[in-house]
Copies of this chain bind each other. A is one copy, B any other.
């Protein structure tokens, strides 16, 4: 295999695995937090605003780890410095 095949092959695999694996934990974590938020609303309806506000700030923070992975995956597909180097005959 020449360099182009190797770098291309690896970039594709890594991009896919990064976003696939990287979306597991945020989805589980958000599901857990969301479940608990609904329980909390059911227990203490008067605190709904404060609960949902804390929930959305927290979800954003958890979502950020999924977004780190999505960013790395897109960089590997569309702005990959290693690929740019090898196809320029580096």
Contacts from A to B (Cβ < 8 Å) = 1-48, 50-52, 54-59, 61-66, 68-70, 72-73, 75-78, 80-83, 85-87, 90
**Copies per complex of this chain:** 14
Do A72 and B73 contact each other (CB < 8 Å), given the known contacts A8-B7, A30-B58? yes
Which chain B residues border A66 with CB–CB below 8 Å?
23, 27, 64-65, 68
**Could you tell me the dominant secondary structure of chain A's interface residues?**
helix
A32 in complex: contacting residue of B11, B35, B50, CB < 8 Å: B35
> How many Å lie between the Cα of A1 and that of B3 in the bound state?
7
Name A35's closest neighbour in chain B (CB-CB). B36
Which chain B residues border A86 with CB–CB below 8 Å?
4-5, 8
